[in-house]
């Protein structure tokens, strides 16, 4: 069993990005610039956004945090988006989701210029991904691909079973791994809440991507010897007697699955570590005009 250490990989990639920034600046260019829009006071959102901004600073990217109160009007928020679209000093930006209920998330996402949509949520980027065209990939699928690439995980002809069909993980990673590319060329099955005989699917999988949001759902008895396990879940479960009163765990029961796995990502410290890094990589691509000229 080998543990895929997301923390170490993220550190390595950040160092590479930092070096790239140094080169750009040394050559007289300006550092890539990511802006983040945060609406309201949702504690989780605040942590995520702060994390993104801090990660920028650490590697020498410019970053701007734009805050609006929870009762901001939709049209005012759309104005912020439009200003960022026009601002030539900003290479890419994100609007942290979820937004308050009175704001239409779809409308906001559609208002972001695809050229600056480093979250990869705009239908243009999603469609380009599904059609195999250059695009900004959503952070989690991009992180999974990067991990596979760096660890030289073979995917061609392999049986991949994805559990979960969300727009941010299951659906895109399924599309990407079935396309004619590396990582890709796998035979992908997408399983979800309506799937019957899920265990039979899991048992024939060479690679499992678990993104179902149920703590420790995948057990050792459901997987075959030698399986590669990518655990995307981040769940809080009660842990009486611990300091915080809870612990974090994935969608995979690490204790029973890891002895059978040839490779497995832990939670925490696995794929989750790469999501912010993916955003930074997209921002560098935006600064370089790699996707859209």
Residues near a copy of itself, by CB under 8 A: 106, 122-133, 156-157, 165, 167, 171-172, 174-175, 178-180, 185-192, 194-196, 201
CA torsion, ordered 116, 117, 118, 119, to nearest 10 deg:
160
Least distance from a copy of itself to the Cβ atom of residue 204, Å: 8
User: Active-site positions?
Assistant: 52, 96, 119
Least distance from a copy of itself to the Cβ atom of residue 249, Å: 26
Least distance from a copy of itself to the Cβ atom of residue 195, Å: 4
Is the CB of 168 or the CB of 249 nearer to a copy of itself? Answer: 168
Q: In 113-132, which positions are buried (b, 16+ CB within 10 angstroms) versus exposed (e)?
A: bbbbbbbbbbebbbebbeee
Per the CB < 8 A criterion, the answer to whether 207 and 160 are in contact is: yes
Is the CB of 86 or the CB of 156 nearer to a copy of itself? Answer: 156
Which among 218, 237, 227 is positioned nearest to 163, based on CA atoms?
A: 218
Strands, E, within 22-61: which ranges? 33-39
Is the CB of 129 or the CB of 211 nearer to a copy of itself? Answer: 129
Is the CB of 63 or the CB of 125 nearer to a copy of itself? Answer: 125
Nearest-10 crossing angle of helices 170-178, 139-150: 40
Least distance from a copy of itself to the Cβ atom of residue 83, Å: 23
Structure tokens at 103: 């704001």
**15: helix, coil or strand?**
helix
Least distance from a copy of itself to the Cβ atom of residue 200, Å: 8
Is the CB of 51 or the CB of 131 nearer to a copy of itself? Answer: 131
Which residues lie closer than 8 Å to 48 by C-beta, 6 or more apart? 96
């Amino acid at each position: 069993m080998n543990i895929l250490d997301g923390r170490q990989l993220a550190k390595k990639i950040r160092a590479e990005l930092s070096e790239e920034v140094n080169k750009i600046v040394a050559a007289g260019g300006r550092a890539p610039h990511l802006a983040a829009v945060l609406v309201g006071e949702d504690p989780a959102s605040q942590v995520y956004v702060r994390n993104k901004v801090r990660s920028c600073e650490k590697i020498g990217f410019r970053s701007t945090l734009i805050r609006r109160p929870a009762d901001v009007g939709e049209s005012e928020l759309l104005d912020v988006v439009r200003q960022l679209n026009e601002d030539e000093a900003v290479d890419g930006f994100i609007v942290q989701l979820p937004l308050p209920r009175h704001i239409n998330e779809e409308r906001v996402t559609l208002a972001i210029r695809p050229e600056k949509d480093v979250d990869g949520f705009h239908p243009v980027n999603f469609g380009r991904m599904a059609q195999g065209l250059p695009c900004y990939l959503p952070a989690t699928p991009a992180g999974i691909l990067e991990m596979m690439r760096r660890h030289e995980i073979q995917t061609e002809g392999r049986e991949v079973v994805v559990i979960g069909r969300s727009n941010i993980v299951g659906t895109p990673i399924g599309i990407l791994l079935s396309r004619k590319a590396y990582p890709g060329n796998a035979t992908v099955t997408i399983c979800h809440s309506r799937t019957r005989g899920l265990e039979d699917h899991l048992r024939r999988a060479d690679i499992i991507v678990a993104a179902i949001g149920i703590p420790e759902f995948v057990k050792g008895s459901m997987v075959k010897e030698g399986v590669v396990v990518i655990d995307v879940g981040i769940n809080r479960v009660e842990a009486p007697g611990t300091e915080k009163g809870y612990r974090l765990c994935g969608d995979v029961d690490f204790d029973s699955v890891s002895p059978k796995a040839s490779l497995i990502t832990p939670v925490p410290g696995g794929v989750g570590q790469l999501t912010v890094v993916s955003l930074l990589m997209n921002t560098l691509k935006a600064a370089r005009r790699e996707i859209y000229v």
